[in-house]
Structure 1
């Protein structure tokens, strides 16, 4: 069979091609997303983006005088190349005088399964995993209440290890999302590091709202500005007090092509507008 369609798989251990054999008499065409072949950012370009945040001071300025820092990152279900971004974040923390033993990483699993050391190495790199404590979020215990949202009246219970830190940094990816409109932004907090009850309450209210809005939907793929589930998520993120967000856009090979940094709402909005 000579008619083969080749598609990229954004595997956690590198981009691979998936070969799909098709009947010879089929005429096929791969329709790529905008930015599919956009060139990846060079390291210095990433550093520049990190140093020019939106709606927030530079990270090293925010970090000065802080005692405990946490870097929250997304899991293997996202193609984010944290291993390229996190070292630049660590440079900023070092410039602010925060020592290694005051920094930890927490994986925002939500209700996904745990990651193991080999997964952490794939995501963060051997250097970071060997140098810093790296934890999986546990949605079933050790969560503390940060407040209640106005949108859905969701009781926001959040990872206790994160809440005890006075500097909270989040790194994630912006792609279309079937309920929240787009991933990224506050979703690293809810569902990322929230309790199972908080996640279920937020998702259930989101689905109920979508059922009521069939004629004029506001929840779903690409819906952002008036999306009540997104509002609920962003409220939770502000309650938790995320100090600095790093959100990226990727091309068809999973390479980072844009970085938006700074305030968790403003930086995410910028990424969404380009996505």
Structure 2
């Protein structure tokens, strides 16, 4: 039978014996919101765990919106005109509102990406600043916070801290370090430096397993939220989408309680129920296609769907290669798990040359690698990247699947077409 999976904005098709395919990655059909604008007004006027936004914004002179970069797909070009016009109607002028991009340690956005993200009218109306984790003079030291016995230095962009009302926007999807994205994550790592982000992510690296879908009891998530509390993140507006990339829910209010309500819907929206684990999992990283830093989410999803000793066929264009701002990522990827963990325990978040964030992503990659062999189909990864990752490259899915059958002749197959947002759950 012929199957297809996303590859960037196109699709790749392949033949596979239908009787061998035990799951195809379907998610529950969560209905979309019929009126996003009305639902958004309802959410910000009746928030969870906070006063209505109009009351919080009263008499404020410097409202700052933290917005995601191009690696996320919250429909800000639809939402922001509604939010800013709502605040205008309640007495807040445009001059009292501005935007700060929150890319974490990713590269800064291009002008075209900002226009695409917000829409040309927003770009004309408002001041937009870009956070760059490399610019030390933009950061302010707020001391430390703790998650358990682990201490996290807190360095936050000064433009965020100067706000008299700090609002974070984003979406909620499964995340391999923080459990789920959204909530306080727009602030940390969104507008923090490499030191703070290294410290919170290191906590995820020490978890006994990959904490995908885990928010409570997750030291990384707890660290992120302690940093946001220190920085006075006052209000969030998060969306949850369905499998078809349509907005299914909007959650606004306190960054803890509103986020947790959103997680409930996200868990249902992105869950892939598995009857059993597959010998071979074919996974697209979609919609996380920009580079491997994002696309590794697909490998992580497959980890929860493949049998021990199985094979993962990882499919992603990785348009921008391995990663930005992380020159040691390839080196960390080349190490075995125990060596990575050893070096991670010895490293200080203050030593940015170590690149702890890369080490944590490498821990995740190593855990997957220890469970299954990984074949890759990607035009954007260079041979030296693939060698360091210890993947086996193939020109197409058919070639990879043929070799997988040669190694496991009676293999069962699982397909995850949206691996970048999937939360596989074994229904036993």
Extract structure 1 runs of 4+ deviating beyond 4 A. 24-29
In 2, Cα distance between equivalents of 1:235 and 1:96: 31
Q: How does 1:257-268 map to 2 (within 5 A)?
A: 257-268=248-259
CA drift of 1:41 comes to: 4.0
Correspondence for 1:13: none
Residue 13 of structure 2 corresponds to residue 21 of structure 1: yes
SS of corresponding position for 2:59: coil
Q: Does structure 2 retain, via aligned residues, the 8 Å contact 1:8–1:253?
A: no
Correspondence for 2:216: 225
Q: Does structure 2 retain, via aligned residues, the 8 Å contact 1:41–1:256?
A: no
Greater C-alpha radius of gyration: 2
Residue 139 of structure 2 corresponds to residue 148 of structure 1: no
CA drift of 1:25 comes to: 5.0
In 2, Cα distance between equivalents of 1:150 and 1:7: 41
Count of matched residue pairs: 259
**Higher relative contact order (CA closer than 8 Å, sequence separation 6+):** 1
SS of corresponding position for 1:150: strand
Correspondence for 1:44: 38
Q: What TM-score do you get using the length of structure 2 for normalisation?
A: 0.57
107, 113, 121: which one aligns with 2:115 = 121
Over 3 Å counting, the alpha-carbon distance change for 1:147 and 1:97 in structure 2 is farther
Residue ranges of structure 1 left out of the alignment (5+ in a row): 10-15
In 2, Cα distance between equivalents of 1:139 and 1:170: 18
Residue ranges of structure 2 left out of the alignment (5+ in a row): 267-428
RMSD: 2.0
Q: What TM-score do you get using the length of structure 1 for normalisation?
A: 0.87
Q: How does 1:173-192 map to 2 (within 5 A)?
A: 173-192=171-190
Q: Does structure 1 retain, via aligned residues, the 8 Å contact 2:174–2:212?
A: yes
Q: Does structure 1 retain, via aligned residues, the 8 Å contact 2:66–2:101?
A: yes
Q: Does structure 1 retain, via aligned residues, the 8 Å contact 2:204–2:218?
A: no
248, 262, 267: which one aligns with 2:239 = 248
Could you report, residue by residue, the CA deviation over 1:149-175 in whole angstroms, capped at 9, with x for unpaired residues? Answer: 121311111011111111111100100
In 2, Cα distance between equivalents of 1:250 and 1:239: 29
Correspondence for 1:159: 157
SS of corresponding position for 2:146: coil
